[in-house]
Structure 1
């Protein structure tokens, strides 16, 4: 074989090899991003944070906490607040309601917030809800639980085995009531 023919064969083999490598590679950018990050570890940790949520220049919520773990690198992403939270929620008239819990978890895909451990909600008008677990559906703006609750209004203390309400507590309902309630005639 002459030199030119050998050179052409080497070029063809090299081109085939490179094309084979090119087509065998897949889009592994996401895999490269995950190198060094275990799926069991948070992608981020925040300590002593104060997050303010505004809409059209108006403060709607203020979240204060000691520690947040961000697990948005998982297939079912969530944020976990292991040391509890204090959440101040402001209505359209800038009246403040307060939500406190020992633990909270926010599921990104479902927009569901799970509050656990000594959950206390104090509304701007003095109503107080106490329970061990409470859920908040952010899409529907709905608060609910199926565990025992104590709901205190200006005139009543109502105990029950569940609670349903809209965000403003204007449609609040204690389920399976066990307390004493005063009724107007």
Structure 2
């Protein structure tokens, strides 16, 4: 059997065409999702800086490279797929910070879900690190069922799976943990 130059070219063109069809399949689903208004975000923002105020005083700032606003859904939320950095300012302008690789805020419930390298550094130098953390804004409560590590200003620390706390981090309930606690026995 003799293969001609024309058949070789025809085979190469067919191979390129089939390759292009299969390589576009992954992006085709993304394009379809963008064309469907029901699945599309109400808005997209890049390089955002949001400031939250209370009686004219800045109480928090939020920075993120990207935000998707899905407030048009039955269960509205805002998604921060490329991470988030938040600063909270107290009454005496003391600052606490929160960073995470991913964040989502559910408007209807007031629940915030932070994931990936979550780090909280409070104004009193308490440091919390974990892979996922939830904050219930309505109840002023923070909790997780994942691994976490907490270092307190007095040198105490805890490592374990799961805890819940008030948002000021002065009342904790640990599930499974190990660590060192410094107790001041002079207070009776």
TM-superposed deviation, 1:174: 3.1
Q: What stretches of structure 2 of length at least 5 have no aligned partner?
A: 1-34
TM-superposed deviation, 1:95: 0.7
Partner Cα distance (1:92, 1:165) in 2 = 21
Greater C-alpha radius of gyration: 1
Q: Which TM-score applies when normalising by structure 1?
A: 0.76
Tell me, yes or no, if structure 1 residue 180 matches structure 2 residue 173: no
How many residues align? The count is: 150
2:91 alignment partner, SS class: coil
Partner Cα distance (2:37, 2:151) in 1 = 45
- How well do the aligned residues superpose, as a CA RMSD in angstroms? 1.5
Q: For 1:137-148, what aligned pairs fall within 5 Å after superposition?
A: 137-148=136-147
TM-superposed deviation, 1:37: 6.0
Q: What stretches of structure 1 of length at least 5 have no aligned partner?
A: 1-35
Q: Which TM-score applies when normalising by structure 2?
A: 0.75
Q: For 1:102-141, what aligned pairs fall within 5 Å after superposition?
A: 102-141=101-140
TM-superposed deviation, 1:172: 3.0
Residue in 2 aligned with 1:168?
A: 168
Kindly indicate which of the two structures has a greater share of residues assigned to strand. 2
Residue in 2 aligned with 1:52?
A: 51
Deviates more, 1:54-63 or 1:159-168: 159-168
